[in-house]
Amino acid sequence: MSPSELNAWLGLALTPKLGGLSYRKLLAALGGPEQIYATPIHTLKQYVNADVAQRIANGIDLASIQPTLDWLAQPNNHIVTLADSHYPQRLLEITDPPPLLYVKGRCDFLNQPSLAIIGSRSTTPQGQLNAKNFAHNLADAGLTIVSGLALGVDTAAHQGGLQGAAGTIAVVGTGLDIVYPASNKSLAHQIVEYGAVVSEFPLGTPSIASNFPRRNRIISGVSMGCLVVEAALKSGSLITARLASEQGREVFAIPGSIHSPVARGCHYLIKQGAKLVESAQDILDELRWQTHTAPSTAPALISDPLLDNMGFEPCHIDALIARSGLTAQTLSAMLLEKELMGLVATLPGGMYQRLI
């Protein structure tokens, strides 16, 4: 892309009140951005309101695009437009693809076969383990993992994707000069090295709540399917799952405890027709993915009297004392040992949960 073409793409993208729909309408009617800037104002008014038409007729606001040009001069930073060969081809199948994407990392990941893994920010230890294991095994099978860099399931999915062969893509709801949440800054830097961080929002865009449902259509849009690990009934993950279904993508869900609030969203999706999955291989089979058999995402069950007494539901320590016949002191020591081994997680309120 020539510098003048890039300036024109950015100039339109940063024009106040020119949304994606109007931007695409101009492209369809008038040609590329340089042709749009050369169009008389009376013609522009046929497609956008008078204020936007006047801004375009005034020419490219070089001052407004300069910070982005400076950002592009830094390593690993890219702009990918609808006219670019790196633009995700699957996004062209959805009704409202963004005219351009800001990308930090490797553009070649944008057209790799991929699967979205999403879920609750307030996830359970088992949910985190499931997200990480599914992501790792699916990435090893050749599917790049797509998620939203949020806390909880998203974080675990990215971590698993980074451990696998196909890496991970984070689609965020802020400008790429901002990492949200800030606690994931180190993770975002790792993703830049072994994948890509992507946004449709200009630099400097803060974490506005309305941006996150918008970015969800990109998470599902670039993916072959969407796996929901854990979700409450009012979770944003259900929005992404609905968008995935509307986009013709496969929707998968992991079932959980009937008592768990973060399993109810998954159970709802399964009732609505989502595929119930227990392993990465279930997803690969549904996608008819030609690869070696993926290892099971569920660790082999360990035979242990204390773990057997716990079951797979969160369990209060008083109930464990009653079931096991052990003293509180002995039981606490055993639970600490198993927690250090990664077999048990401590939950609030004196609760424990078996992980394997």
Tokens representing residue 163 in the block: 């451990």
Rounded Cα distance between 32 and 7, Å, is 12
Residues 6+ away with beta carbon under 8 Å from 201: 102, 172, 173, 174, 175, 211, 215
pLDDT of the residue at 303: 63
| Predicted confidence (pLDDT) per residue in 127-144, tens digit | 999 999 999 999 999 999
* DSSP single-letter state for residue 326: -
1-42 pLDDT, tens digit per residue, is: 899 999 999 999 999 999 999 999 999 999 999 999 999 999
Q: How far is it, in rounded angstroms, from Cα 218 to Cα 92?
A: 11
Average pLDDT over residues 275-279: 96
Within 8 A by CB and 6+ apart from 328, the residues are 317, 321
Residue 297's pLDDT is 40
For residue 121, how far is the Cα from the chain centroid? Answer: 12
User: Which residue ranges form the domains of the chain, and what is each CATH number?
Assistant: 1-73 (1.10.150), 107-286 (3.40.50.450), 305-354 (1.10.10.10)
pTM over 0.75: yes
Tell me which residue has tokens 């970015």: 215
Q: So what's the pLDDT on residue 292?
A: 44
**CB–CB of 236/148 below 8 Å?**
no
Instruction: At 34, list the tokens.
Output: 């340089």
Of 97, 85, 80, 83, residue with least CA distance to 217: 97
What digits encode the pLDDT tens for the residues 140-166?
999 999 999 999 999 999 999 999 999
Tokens standing for 178?
């901002």
Burial of 351 (0-12, 13-18, 19+ CB in 10 A): middle
The DSSP element (H or E) to which 57 belongs, if any, is: helix 50-57
Q: How large is the C-alpha radius of gyration of the chain?
A: 24
- The predicted model gives 201-205 an average pLDDT of 97
Q: What is the CA angle 254-256-259, rounded to 5?
A: 155
Q: In what order do the strands lie in the sheet with 168-171?
A: 77-81, 100-105, 195-199, 168-171, 144-147, 114-118, 225-228, 250-253, 275-276
Strand pairing class (168-171; 77-81): unpaired
Tell me the pLDDT band of 336, cut-offs 50, 70 and 90: confident
The predicted structure's pLDDT at residue 300? 46
